[in-house]
Structure 1
Amino acid sequence: MTGEEVDDAQAVYVYEAPVRLWHWINAGALVVLMASGYLIASPPPSVSGAASDHFLMGDIKFAHFVAAYVFTIGLAARLYWAFVGNRYARRLFVPFSRSRQWRQDLLAELRWYLFIDRSEPRTGPGLNPLAQLIMGLMFLGGGLFEIVTGFALYGEPEGAGSFAHRYFTSWVVPLFGDSQNVHTWHHLVMWYLLCFVIVHVYLAIREDVMTTHSSVGTMISGWRYKRRPAIKR
């Protein structure tokens, strides 16, 4: 017995490889979408030289369109994996539950993150109730809105024969009144998703720092490590 503190740990395999791959590709797509979307709404100053030597806005829009396809296809693939993956894979698409225990856990998580309670909630591995709610309302809600309105805007120059015009533009633009309203809402929800990214990164880092289990590292290795209280030996 030396009095040295030794940390013991247990691990649960939470995020499978397809989920981790989707997460990081999706994160990259969101960065490109937000950066290019901002530049599309607020174009940079004209570059010097002959116009034929530059295609700056065209390149920005191309990057936006490619990232949009990556984001959309990735979300569809992630939905498929919710059905074939492990039990943690489907929580992303279940933003809330009617169970009393879920509501109690949600309240406990809220009190913990608002620094009201000092004791860490015991909600188990995977997305906790607060994360489920935020992912559902902010990421899924905002992401689906951007996909629908984005393809509606994409379909306008593509013309009436394109799939985007047939399945999106034809009903989304009339629903919003006109194309400019679609542009405005598409741009506003981009800022909504940026708020989600900030909240998501903050909560993930805060969990790593202030709780007894891993968070950021879990989305790299797939394993969530539960560190038990230190034992004196």
Structure 2
Amino acid sequence: MTTPVPAGHGANQARQDGGPAEAVTAVYVYQAPVRIWHWINAAAIVVLAVTGYFIGSPIATRPGEASANFMMGYIRFAHFSAAYIFTIGMLGRVYWAFVGNKHARELFHVPIFTRAYWSDLASMLRWYGFISKRPNRYTGHNPLARFAMFFIFVLSSFFMILTGFALYSEGAQAGSWEDHLFGWVIPLFGQPQDVHTWHHLGMWVIIVFVILHVYAAIREDIMGRQSVVSTIVSGYRTLKD
């Protein structure tokens, strides 16, 4: 169901110069829990990426007493704290996919077995490839965004949670809950260093995804037929012609 934009926000209103107005309609898409999760998750990813980089490439040893130099300890603490926030947020997001509106489920469901989905996906690829002049309008995620969100972001996120807690279980030692739940991951990859390498590569996958995600959102706001950036702030998607 669509909800007209309130007066003063441009819904079928005449321009001041007397010309025809642009038809604008607002649709409530993202509920508050989804929007809150999005921004907390984004902050956690930034902290994880920055601290993870320094954990993989530590800073040079600083002179002086060891008790006065705990820089890497602080970096690791920030990384672990952000990892817990990221993990709890993902679990909460899975829960909200069951109890939220239909748009809350799009992150985890891609209708790849329908012909219409692939047709719409091809249309969006032409739009992002600067071949089409106008994109189709979607109240939720467009088909290309749904594909990227699930097969790149969601799967990579759960991969990072598994490998991250597997590495964390080494410090927690045998018998800890981390070891019971994630200790099997290290033997699966062969050795801890292999897990470190794959975890590090996973970080770059998510970084590249974030860059493309931000680019696509801003591009759609400027060139598309609907709002994107403001939608994840207010919850309302503005559809315009």
Per the normalisation by structure 2, the TM-score is: 0.90
Change in Cα spacing, 1:20 to 1:172, as seen in structure 2 (3 Å) is same
2:222 maps to which residue?
209
Whole-Å separation in 1 of the counterparts to 2:50 and 2:189? 25
Q: For the Cα contact (< 8 Å) 1:95–1:137, is it kept in 2?
A: no
Give 1:3 shift: 5.0
SS of the aligned residue for 1:88 comes to: helix
Is 2:90 the counterpart of 1:75? yes
Question: Aligned AA for 1:206?
Answer: R
User: Which structure 2 residues correspond to residues 82-93 of structure 1 after superposition, within 5 A?
Assistant: 82-93=97-108
1:128 maps to which residue?
142
Per the normalisation by structure 1, the TM-score is: 0.93
Question: Aligned AA for 1:187?
Answer: H
Moved more, 90-99 or 137-146: 90-99
Give 1:4 shift: 3.0
Unaligned runs of 5+ in 2: 1-13
Whole-Å separation in 1 of the counterparts to 2:33 and 2:49? 24
Whole-Å separation in 1 of the counterparts to 2:110 and 2:197? 27
Whole-Å separation in 2 of the counterparts to 1:151 and 1:76? 15
Give 1:5 shift: 4.7
2:125 maps to which residue?
110
Equivalent pairs counted in the alignment come to 226
Give 1:51 shift: 1.8
Unaligned runs of 5+ in 1: 229-233
SS of the aligned residue for 1:200 comes to: helix
Give 1:196 shift: 0.5
Is 2:58 the counterpart of 1:43? yes
User: Which structure 2 residues correspond to residues 10-21 of structure 1 after superposition, within 5 A?
Assistant: 10-21=25-36
Give 1:100 shift: 1.2
Give 1:97 shift: 2.6
Identity level (%)? 53
Give 1:8 shift: 3.1
Question: Aligned AA for 2:129?
Answer: L
Moved more, 49-58 or 64-73: 49-58
2:200 maps to which residue?
187
Cα deviation per residue 1:192-211 (whole Å; 9 max; x = unaligned)?
11010011101101110001
1:138 to 139, 146, 152: 152
Is 2:76 the counterpart of 1:61? yes
Whole-Å separation in 1 of the counterparts to 2:113 and 2:214? 27
Whole-Å separation in 2 of the counterparts to 1:133 and 1:186? 22
Q: For the Cα contact (< 8 Å) 1:96–1:132, is it kept in 2?
A: no
Give 1:50 shift: 2.2
Whole-Å separation in 1 of the counterparts to 2:204 and 2:177? 27
Whole-Å separation in 2 of the counterparts to 1:137 and 1:84? 22
User: Which structure 2 residues correspond to residues 215-230 of structure 1 after superposition, within 5 A?
Assistant: 215-228=228-241
Cα deviation per residue 1:105-144 (whole Å; 9 max; x = unaligned)?
111011100111112223x210111001000111111101
Whole-Å separation in 2 of the counterparts to 1:63 and 1:190? 16
Give 1:45 shift: 1.8
Question: Aligned AA for 1:121?
Answer: N
Q: For the Cα contact (< 8 Å) 1:95–1:134, is it kept in 2?
A: no
4+ long deviations beyond 4 Å: none
1:165 to 158, 179, 202: 179
SS of the aligned residue for 1:45 comes to: coil
SS of the aligned residue for 1:157 comes to: helix
Is 2:188 the counterpart of 1:175? yes
Question: Aligned AA for 2:151?
Answer: L
Moved more, 189-198 or 41-50: 41-50
